[in-house]
Amino acid sequence: MQTFNHTCGKYLEINTANIYYEEMGDKNKPVLLMLHGGPQDIEDLNPMASYLAKKFRIIGIDSRGHGKSTLGNEKLTYEQIQLDAEAVLKELEINIVNIIGFSDGGIAAYRIAANNKVKVKKLITMGASWSEKDVADADDVIRTITPESAKQIFPKNFEKYQQLNPEPDYDLFIQSLVAMWLDRSKTGHPNESVKDITAKTLMIRGDNDFLVSLDSLAMLKQKINESSFMNVPFAEHAVYEEQPQIVEIVLKQFLNQ
């Protein structure tokens, strides 16, 4: 079984940061880019990557400041995560790609697909909002997150960050992450640019996900021509962890179409 392990990857210097990425699977197969949420790293995607590696050349990127990737001097934004991912694909001479993005990674994935700098054939997002309106109600809660409270909210991610990051500064990392979550400028959510997405798109949310509303995804389905969404019962935000069997069946069917 192939999984991300933070031992066999490479670094690419992009805009003052060193962005870490790994590849696995068959290099002759279609490319699948996987983008994690915050404050995660690529190993959090292993529940899906382990079975998808049989049919795809998988590329996993530690988002800027996360995992083994350094933060650099640029502001952490969804746009910057998008640009970093596009730079890695360019370095690998990849022009056609499929994408799976969870949460923050899904927001960046919407931006990549809407930007059309690389051809995105199929796009899958999970627990990913596309409009700033979706998360506006959570702003007051997000503003209360501090480096100290984040250690309590995300204890495993904190420990992993301390172990993996070559330039650890958890306080700055969490402050940068919170600022990204509160960003309502053009560097944040894709908003109406989603209408430029031409990829076949599948949006997945847990029925009890408070960060992505059912109404919002229904609206998004009307904006993307070839799109579907699935509302998974008995799941919250991390739907691929909470209902792995359902997600596996749907991912395989969608990607193999």
CA-closest candidate to residue 100, choices 92, 117, 88, 112: 112
**What does the block give as tokens for 45?**
């995607």
What is the helix (H) or strand (E) element at residue 229, kind and residue range? strand 227-232
- The reported pTM is 0.97
pLDDT of residue 1: 73
pLDDT score of 41: 98
Question: CA angle 221-254-207, nearest 5°?
Answer: 55
* Element of type H or E holding 37: none
Task: Give yes or no for a cis peptide into 39 (omega within 30° of 0).
Answer: yes
**CB neighbour list of residue 141: distance below 8 Å, 6 or more residues apart:** none
Residue 245, number of CB atoms within 10 A of its CB: 7
Query: Residue 215's pLDDT is what?
Result: 94
- Residue 136's pLDDT is 84
pLDDT by position in tens, the chain (length 257):
799 999 999 999 999 999 999 999 999 999 999 999 999 999 999 999 999 999 999 999 999 999 999 999 999 999 999 999 999 999 999 999 999 999 999 999 999 999 999 999 999 999 999 999 888 888 999 999 999 999 999 999 999 999 999 999 999 999 999 999 999 999 999 999 999 999 999 999 999 998 999 999 999 999 999 999 999 999 999 999 999 999 999 999 999 98
Sheet holding 96-102, edge to edge: 10-14, 17-25, 57-61, 31-35, 96-102, 119-126, 200-206, 227-232
Instruction: Using DSSP bridges, classify how beta strands 96-102 and 119-126 pair: parallel, antiparallel or unpaired.
Output: parallel
Is CATH 3.60.20.10 the classification given to domain 10-256? no
